[in-house]
């Protein structure tokens, strides 16, 4: 199974530039065109949050139009820049929703079971897995016991060393997630965003793959106390190929 992994498009509507510098809407359109031109098309597209910069209906309409143009199944979870109500309204077929209103999703009709976990704390940059979402995750993992699982969420459950960004990382529920992943035993990859860089780590024995931004990247800087800054690296996405039995290779593709 081939999975395209897009994240952090931060689309701004009307051609506005993010930080007076990045035309995120145009970057997103270029990325969609580049992906559509790939001679081998993915079976699934997952989008791990921060679809729009300001979570407006206009931004989600732009994102939805681009993603639908691919003609592929798309699954999405929110990031810290998203808001659940407008995202769900604009992308109903791409999102799930729990009884508590979190935009979590679980799909069992694909070669791998796919679980998308909402880590959003609306209005805050950091992420959490609250007791309600942890209970939902427990059930979702129980429902796919014995199957290969692909898990995706916005905030990576790892400390990356990019300290400013780590300060707004997954601050609650990380250990609990690692326990669940280890106990399930067949989580083949944990796909994330938020960091605007390609980063590889692990959680509960599964690989964590942080995809770079579909628009703009954050400079690599491991100094303590250093505020994040943007780099000039191009828009990027990832392609994950997972064979039956779970063997996986992951590619970073620049636009």
Piece of 80-88, 133-141, 171-179, 238-246 that binds Fe ion (CB under 5 A): 80-88
Residue 165 buriedness (CB in 10 A; 0-12 / 13-18 / 19+): buried
Q: CB of residue 44 vs Fe ion: minimum separation in angstroms?
A: 22
Q: Examine residue 215 and tell whether it contacts Fe ion (CB under 5 A).
A: no
Helix axes 24-36, 57-69, angle to 10 degrees: 20
In the 8-state DSSP scheme, what is residue 228?
A: P
Please work out the total of residues on this chain that contact Fe ion, with binding judged by CB under 5 A: 4
- When the beta carbons of 165 and 203 are compared against Fe ion, the nearer one is 165
Q: In whole angstroms, what is the distance from residue 187 CA to residue 164 CA?
A: 29
Q: In whole angstroms, what is the distance from residue 207 CA to residue 161 CA?
A: 17
Q: CB of residue 108 vs Fe ion: minimum separation in angstroms?
A: 28
Positive or negative, the Cα torsion across 171, 234, 22, 15? negative
Q: Examine residue 194 and tell whether it contacts Fe ion (CB under 5 A).
A: yes
- When the beta carbons of 43 and 221 are compared against Fe ion, the nearer one is 221
Out of 5, 50, 119, 242, which residue is the one contacting Fe ion (CB under 5 A)? 50
Q: CB of residue 56 vs Fe ion: minimum separation in angstroms?
A: 17
Residues in contact with Fe ion by the rule CB under 5 A: 50, 79-80, 194
């Amino acid at each position: 199974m081939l999975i395209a992994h897009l994240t952090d498009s931060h689309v701004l509507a009307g051609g506005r530039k993010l930080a007076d510098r990045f035309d995120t809407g145009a970057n997103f359109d270029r990325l969609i065109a580049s992906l559509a031109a790939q001679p081998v098309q993915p079976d699934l597209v997952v989008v791990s949050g921060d679809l729009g910069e300001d979570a407006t209906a206009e931004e989600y309409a732009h994102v939805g139009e681009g993603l639908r143009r691919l003609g592929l199944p798309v699954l999405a979870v929110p990031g810290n820049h998203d808001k659940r109500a407008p995202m769900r309204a604009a992308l109903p077929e791409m999102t799930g929703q729990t009884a508590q209103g979190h935009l979590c999703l679980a799909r069992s009709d694909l070669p791998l079971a796919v679980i998308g976990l909402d880590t959003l704390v609306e209005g805050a940059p950091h992420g959490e897995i609250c007791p309600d979402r942890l209970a939902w995750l427990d059930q979702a993992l129980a429902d796919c016991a014995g199957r290969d699982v692909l898990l995706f969420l916005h905030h990576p459950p790892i400390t990356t060393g990019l300290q400013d960004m780590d300060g707004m990382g997954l601050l609650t529920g990380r250990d609990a997630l690692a326990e669940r992943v280890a106990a399930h035993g067949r989580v083949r990859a944990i796909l994330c965003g938020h960091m605007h860089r390609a980063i590889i780590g692990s959680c509960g024995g599964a690989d964590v793959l942080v995809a770079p931004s579909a628009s703009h990247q954050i400079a690599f800087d491991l100094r303590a106390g250093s505020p994040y800054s943007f780099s000039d690296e191009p828009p990027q996405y990832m392609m994950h190929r997972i064979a039956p039995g779970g063997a996986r290779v992951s590619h970073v593709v620049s636009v």
